[in-house]
Amino acid sequence: MNFERNILITGGAGFIGSHVTRLFVNKYPGYNIINLDALTYAGNLENLKDIEDASNYIFEKANILDTNAVDKIFNKYKIDGIIHLAAESHVDRSILSPMDFVYTNIIGTVNLLNTAKKFWTSFEGKKFYHISTDEVYGTLGKTGFFTETTPYAPNSPYSASKAASDHFVRAYGETYHLPVTISNCSNNYGPNHFPEKLIPLFINNIINKKPLPVYGDGNYTRDWLYVKDHAAAIDLVFHKGKDFETYNIGGFNEWKNIDLVMLLCKLMDDKTGNAPGTSEKLITFVKDRPGHDKRYAIDASKINKELGWKPSVSFEKGLSETIDWYLQNKEWLKNVTSGEYKQYFELQYHRR
């Protein structure tokens, strides 16, 4: 079959990647969607069960550090667009094991850039779209927002590795005119989020009556965005975003961790029939995350004005749907926290 476009999505088996892959496979039947993923602990093909037989979807198990494998896939499918999400994504793990982040996030990204540069003899109709994070900007005080011109000041090995990858992507645009676009997004939440991150970890712990480890005093602020809204923004930036530009994506939805945890506890009690106050009793204040960024908040007015994007799902609705998904998918939760995955849950810096 001749496809209109052949798009490589890296990290398509992960949290955000699976939502982006599903959106593209369903919305664009004329596109061939190739999902390249190494299936690390965070990647799971169960996330894509509903589309695995689609005629415009192909899964390729490969590591972005393996240049030969990436080259072969590029050549085999005549890739003309890349949406690059594959990464080590958890800040706590980057504190314990920074080199994994250097390899995948920096070297893996440069490998992909080199492959694109090598195979794209003409840049006409090509796009290298790099998905990044607001954490590259460092931390905010009580006021203000990150804009596209905020200087980079990463504070964790994770954010430093993402900042380095952003710089390489931008540099390949400047130096080789590779048609690159970057977006930097705030904290996502939603179904299929690996239960090491705040929201799914706490849902899983409440289900299993385990302590809820709040770092420090819990007075840290994050700007939460429903993952399907991020996927919609990625679709828009991929198709309408300008080459060599950066777009900030955020939820206009700031929450202090402790307030969010209290809300989560209340919703969990309501939905599971627990007596009010049951989940709250599980809250345990633990040693703070080293280098913990105080506050993130995105000014998403550029993508709003230029591309017409804004979040469509309210936090109340998104969080409620997310909890329902985890309560209805306990098997998924069990699968990704047991067997070979178990070691990842024992590895938490605050227990050391």
Active-site residue list: 134-135, 158
Using the rule CB under 6 A, is 224 a contact of ligand DAU?
Answer: no
Q: Which one among 6, 7, 8, 14 touches ligand NAD, defined by CB under 6 A?
A: 14
Q: Are 272 and 328 in contact (CB under 8 A)?
A: no
The DSSP result for 310-322, as a single string, is ---S-HHHHHHHH
CA dist 139 and 136 (Å) reads: 9
Binders of ligand NAD in range 17-76 (CB under 6 A): 17, 37-40, 42-43, 63-65
Closest alpha carbon to 351 in 240, 253, 215: 215
Rounded distance between C-alpha atoms, residue 169 and residue 296, angstroms: 23
CA angle 294, 296, 297 (to 5 degrees): 140
x-or-dash pattern for ligand NAD, window 110-149, by CB under 6 A? ---------------------xxx----------------
Query: Based on CB atoms, which residue is closest to ligand NAD, 16 or 313?
Result: 16
d(CA 152, CA 89): 18
Stretch that binds ligand NAD, among 5-13, 114-122, 166-174, 271-279 (CB under 6 A): 5-13
For residues 351 and 58, give the distance between their C-alpha atoms in angstroms, rounded to a whole number. Answer: 40
Contacted entry of ligand NAD, ligand DAU, none for residue 13, CB cut-off 5 to 8 Å set by kind = ligand NAD
Among 214, 233, 264, 300, binds ligand DAU (CB under 6 A): 214
Question: Segment 154-213, which members bind ligand NAD (CB under 6 A)?
Answer: 162, 185, 187-188, 194
Instruction: For ligand DAU, give the closer residue by CB, 117 or 289.
Output: 289
Site for ligand NAD in 207-246 (CB under 6 A): none
Q: How far apart are the first and last CA of the chain?
A: 54
User: How is residue 25 annotated by DSSP?
Assistant: H
Taking CA atoms, 162 is separated from 89, 103, 139, 153, 168, in Å, by 9, 11, 15, 11, 10
- Residues of this chain that bind ligand DAU (CB under 6 A): 89-91, 133-135, 186-187, 197-198, 201, 213-215, 220, 222, 257, 289, 296
- Residues of this chain that bind ligand NAD (CB under 6 A): 10-11, 13-17, 37-40, 42-43, 63-65, 85-89, 104, 108, 131-133, 162, 185, 187-188, 194
